[in-house]
Amino acid sequence: MSDAYDVVVIGAGPGGYVAAIRCAQLGLKTACIERESALGGTCLRVGCIPSKALLESSERYVQAQKHLKEHGVKVKGVSLDLPTMLARKEKIVKGLTEGVAHLLKKNGVERIEGHGSFKAKSDDGYTIEISGSKEMKTITGRHVIVATGSTVADLPGVERSADKIGGSTEALSYPEVPGHLVVIGAGVIGLELGSVWARLGAQVTVLEYADRCLPMMDSAIGKEATKIFKRQGLTLKFGVRVTGARVEGDGCIVEAEGQDPIACDRVLVAVGRRPFTDNLGLESVGIEIDERGRIPVNEHLETAASGVFAIGDVVQGAMLAHKAEEEGIAVAERLGTGWGHVDYDAIPNVIYTDPEIATVGRSSEELEAAGVPFKSGSFPFRANGRARALGQVDGLVRVLAHAETDRVLGVHMIGPRVGELIIEASMAMSFGASSEDIARVCHAHPTLHEVVKEAALAVDGRAIHS
């Protein structure tokens, strides 16, 4: 193995391995360093993919328990086999991590196992030290892409316990359904995993510091989500400042300001994530992290060290796997072709609860704060034929367009399969479309996409089916 590369990528998560593959496709000699034996990063190993597997399984369990009879399908003796459900999740993860390894090999990327950190800068580029493998080694990269992702953020006063009080990784593998699960944080992770265990039979209490559900999303969607989740049996408490959590006896105690202590069986800490920049040797090449632990970059994702780039969760912006991928492609193409770009205004965000929640662009609160004049249109899934046939009528689509130009500024959805519907809005925004452009496109009938069309029509007060 040669020790000199055109590009060295540190981290094999969604951003890192995609960047490495694209660099190799462009003819750059590329190495990808990853300290975990399984590739794919947090998203694939202990995040996006395993959580979606459990969400799907738990939804089917509820369907079999409560809703198949509505379709004339009678079932008896439905019961939960948690070990099988967890084994299915692990099988999916294993297959995909092996797939990433195959893709790296197929594209000629040198995969190096270990922890990579900067040692020094030389005339040939940057020296990267790799530890944790059988022996310490060093390699050089003319360019380096830092794609080390993020890790679970801590909350002061919360005493983590691998068995009882933990983050998303632990919540993906509880050995039994908790009698009472307290979730700290009503964001993506808290709501998704809280929903999983609620469907499987747990009493779930969600404590959120903000005054509403999903504070990072459009308030109309947050309000609708709150109503739906409460109907599903989740207890949601807002404006709650958690001051501590600890193991006591066979259970846990959660304490919050101005409230009685809450006794429970397990605690899921879902207050967000922080960039993982530990022991990377950034200071040795002149890179300083900001007050939030992120690596500062310019518009081309280049750091203060010339030739060193950073992408994904370690830089500013939403911590989303697909954002990291787009940034990885942009950097690779800039290195290989001289040009690379990410359209940050059209990056969708999806929460895979039931119903799903999806958003792209700016919220009404953001537009109001920026003084941007806008108009809006909404349409409910209850008025859609396909949604009625599916038996999934909760939710709505909301389109926000500039009051003067009609250009679409944001689209927000809660309802069945909106994680698939949101791409229509993302594409429309990428091409600078107006709400009228969406409304004038012929949408197949009967489909859920018709709700998007009707919401676009509603921007101008022209919805047909309301």
Domain ranges of the chain: 4-49+85-151+274-342, 165-271, 349-459
Q: Respond yes or no on whether the N-terminal peptide bond of residue 83 is cis (omega within 30° of 0).
A: no
Other beta carbons within 10 angstroms of residue 27's beta carbon come to 10
Which residues, 6+ apart, have CB-to-CB distance to 399 below 8 Å?
Answer: 376, 377, 378, 408, 410, 411, 425, 435, 438, 452, 455, 456, 458, 459
pLDDT at 226: 95
Beta bridge partners of 224: none
pLDDT at 124: 86
Residue 303 and residue 297 in contact, taking contact as beta carbons nearer than 8 Å: yes
In 3-state terms, what secondary structure has residue 144? strand
In 3-state terms, what secondary structure has residue 299? coil
Sort residue 383 into left (φ over 0), alpha (ψ -120 to 50) or beta: alpha
pLDDT in tens, the chain (466 residues): 459 999 999 999 999 999 999 999 999 999 999 999 999 999 999 999 999 999 999 999 999 999 999 999 999 999 999 999 999 999 999 999 999 999 999 999 999 999 999 999 988 899 999 998 667 899 999 999 999 999 999 999 999 997 899 999 999 999 999 999 999 999 999 999 999 999 999 999 999 999 999 988 999 999 999 999 999 999 999 999 999 999 999 999 999 999 999 999 999 999 999 999 999 999 999 999 999 999 999 999 999 999 999 999 999 999 999 999 999 999 999 999 999 999 999 999 999 999 999 999 999 999 999 999 999 999 999 999 999 999 999 999 999 999 999 999 999 999 999 999 999 999 999 999 999 999 999 999 999 999 999 999 999 999 999 8
pLDDT at 2: 56
Q: How far is residue 237's CA from residue 54's CA, in Å, rounded to a whole number?
A: 25
Please say whether the structural domain 4-49+85-151+274-342 has been given the CATH code 3.20.20.140: no
- Report CA Rg, the chain: 24
Domains 4-49+85-151+274-342 and 165-271 share a fold: yes
pLDDT at 330: 98
pTM for the model? 0.96
* CB-count exposure of residue 62 (10 Å: 0-12, 13-18, 19+): middle
**In terms of Cα–Cα distance, which of 207, 274, 214, 260 is closest to 235?**
207
pLDDT at 439: 98
CATH number of 165-271: 3.50.50.60
pLDDT at 122: 86
pLDDT at 1: 44
Q: Among the options 102, 341, 445, 465, which is catalytic?
A: 445
Question: Topology of domain 349-459, per CATH?
Answer: Enolase-like; domain 1 (3.30.390)
Q: Does the annotation mark 412 as catalytic?
A: no
